[in-house]
């Protein structure tokens, strides 16, 4: 593996802001691509989405920790794309780039003078990645896309929660769109080796949410059943969910009949009891089953049951808070906490990439990672490079 990662020969121009597009660009940067983030004079909106702030302990309040979550391994240049001179700078970047990412509302980039046709005139090999809220065409293509709106419109909230629809605790529509765009871009780059030409890869927040409906989607499409909120338990498998104990809750996943028999033995239940003998029976009598299990679990603290499940080979776990997650040795062993040096804020700890290659101890494809940039931190360097 090279020091800079498997995509180290690629240049990505990142015109995106907020979260979905920056997530896609960061994923490519994690794999070694040089990512130049083009920002307006006021910067990416998420720089101001705080508190908390990246430099709070040191008295700096310029950039939010939200911004830090999606912008590592990038350079920043400030351009006003309505200014002809700065528009020329972008054109020069496009001429050298392999990938351009954008998440403007449909038609905005066209109005700025950078239609798909012009972009490919400037660089026929350019792969263009585009994220919109609801798709680039169709009757509602004009709508602006925000994560919570997409979670609701795409049906995800309707199956999340206990008594009423609830959003996921992270901007999952944004994150899914970013991940989908990144893998689509990599596929288009692979195709370019054969054709010599770039193409446009499009996705949306809506597509990302609908694309992960999984069994909840086919419950309606094939089963004719409209699923509702399922709380902390699986709607089609039992017992599979979160259970109260004598102290903290535990999660148990009994995903097969073999595991059910092991679980029943561990908690001193009759596996052949008529209400619970098969998964179909257990799902039909889920509330009764949960009651029996929690009555038993109430007699001992969570650690007792977790140890018992582990010894019996039954998948189980605790519900960790964020501070506990990032102190967990297993998380640290996977390179999922990165330490980078920032020119204004000093040492920063960031979440890492979910990918690992070979024996690289870091997550992602790089040997080293770079802190998210200050607004316009690399403007002079990038402009000088373009004039070489």
174 is catalytic: yes
Residue 19 burial by CB count (10 A; 0-12/13-18/19+): exposed, middle or buried?
Answer: buried
Catalytic site residue from 174, 272, 307, 323: 174
- Give the integer Cα–Cα distance in Å for 143 and 133: 7
Q: Which residues are known to be catalytic?
A: 174
């Amino acid at each position: 593996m090279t020091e800079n990662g498997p995509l180290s020969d690629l240049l990505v121009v990142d015109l995106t802001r907020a979260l979905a597009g920056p997530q896609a660009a960061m994923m490519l940067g994690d794999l070694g691509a040089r990512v130049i983030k083009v920002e307006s004079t006021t910067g990416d909106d998420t720089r101001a989405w705080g508190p908390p702030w990246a430099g709070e302990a040191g008295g700096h309040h310029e950039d939010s920790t939200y911004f830090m979550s999606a912008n590592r391994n990038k350079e920043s240049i400030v351009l006003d794309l309505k200014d002809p001179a700065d528009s020329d700078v972008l054109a020069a970047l496009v001429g050298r780039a392999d990938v351009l990412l954008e998440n403007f509302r449909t038609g905005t980039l066209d109005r700025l003078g950078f239609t798909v046709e012009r972009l490919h005139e400037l660089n026929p090999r350019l792969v263009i990645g585009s994220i919109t809220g609801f798709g680039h065409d169709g009757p509602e293509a004009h709508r602006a896309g925000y994560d919570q709106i997409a979670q609701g419109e795409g049906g995800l909230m309707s199956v999340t929660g206990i008594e009423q629809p609830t959003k996921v605790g992270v901007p999952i529509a944004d994150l899914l769109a970013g991940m989908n765009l990144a893998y689509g871009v990599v596929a288009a780059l692979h195709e370019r080796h054969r054709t010599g030409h770039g193409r446009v890869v499009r996705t949306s927040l809506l597509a990302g949410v609908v694309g992960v409906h999984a069994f909840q989607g086919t419950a309606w499409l094939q089963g004719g059943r409209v699923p509702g909120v399922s709380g902390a338990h699986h709607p089609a498998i039992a017992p599979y969910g979160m259970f109260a104990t004598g102290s903290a809750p535990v999660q148990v996943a009994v995903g097969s009949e073999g595991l059910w028999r092991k679980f029943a033995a561990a908690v001193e239940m009759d596996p052949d009891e008529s209400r619970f003998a098969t998964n179909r029976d257990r799902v039909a009598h889920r509330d009764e089953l949960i009651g029996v299990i929690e009555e038993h679990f109430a007699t001992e603290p969570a650690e007792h049951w977790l140890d018992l499940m582990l010894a019996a080979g039954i998948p189980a776990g605790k519900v960790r808070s964020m501070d506990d997650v990032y102190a967990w040795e297993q998380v640290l062993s996977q390179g999922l906490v990165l330490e980078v040096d920032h020119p204004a804020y000093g040492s920063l700890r960031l979440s890492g990439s979910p990918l690992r290659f070979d024996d690289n101890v870091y997550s992602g494809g790089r040997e080293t990672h770079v802190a998210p940039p200050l607004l316009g931190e690399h403007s002079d360097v990038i402009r000088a490079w373009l004039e070489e």
